[in-house]
C-alpha cells in the first residue's frame, strides 16, 4: 500500500482532512498535497506526522531470520 493511501486512512480514522494533517505537520495544504501525489515523504517526515497526530510510526525490515532492521 502506498504511503499516501496509508495517510488517507489515518485521516479517516482520526476524523480530520488531509489538508488538516498537512497543517498539523507544518506544511501548507498545497505542499502536502504535492508530497502525497509524488509519494515523496521521508522517514523523518512520517515520524513527525505520527507525532503531531498522536500516533506512533514504526518502520522496519524483518529478515527471514526474524532479525529486525529499524529506522
pLDDT bin (cut points 50, 70, 90) of residue 59 is: confident
Cβ count within 10 A of residue 36: 19
Residues 6+ apart with CB under 8 A from 53: 10, 14, 16, 21, 24
The pTM of the full predicted model, rounded to 2 decimals, is 0.85
Q: Would you say residue 21 has pLDDT above 90?
A: yes
- Domains, the chain: 3-70 (1.10.260)
Q: Would you say residue 70 has pLDDT above 90?
A: no
Amino acid at each position: 500500500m502506498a504511503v499516501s493511501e496509508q495517510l488517507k486512512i489515518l485521516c479517516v480514522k482520526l476524523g480530520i482532512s488531509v489538508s488538516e494533517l498537512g497543517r498539523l505537520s507544518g506544511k501548507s495544504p498545497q505542499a502536502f498535497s504535492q508530497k502525497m501525489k509524488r509519494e515523496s515523504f521521508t522517514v523523518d517526515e512520517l515520524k513527525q506526522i505520527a507525532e503531531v497526530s498522536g500516533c506512533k510510526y514504526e518502520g522496519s525490515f524483518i529478515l527471514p531470520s526474524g532479525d529486525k532492521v529499524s529506522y
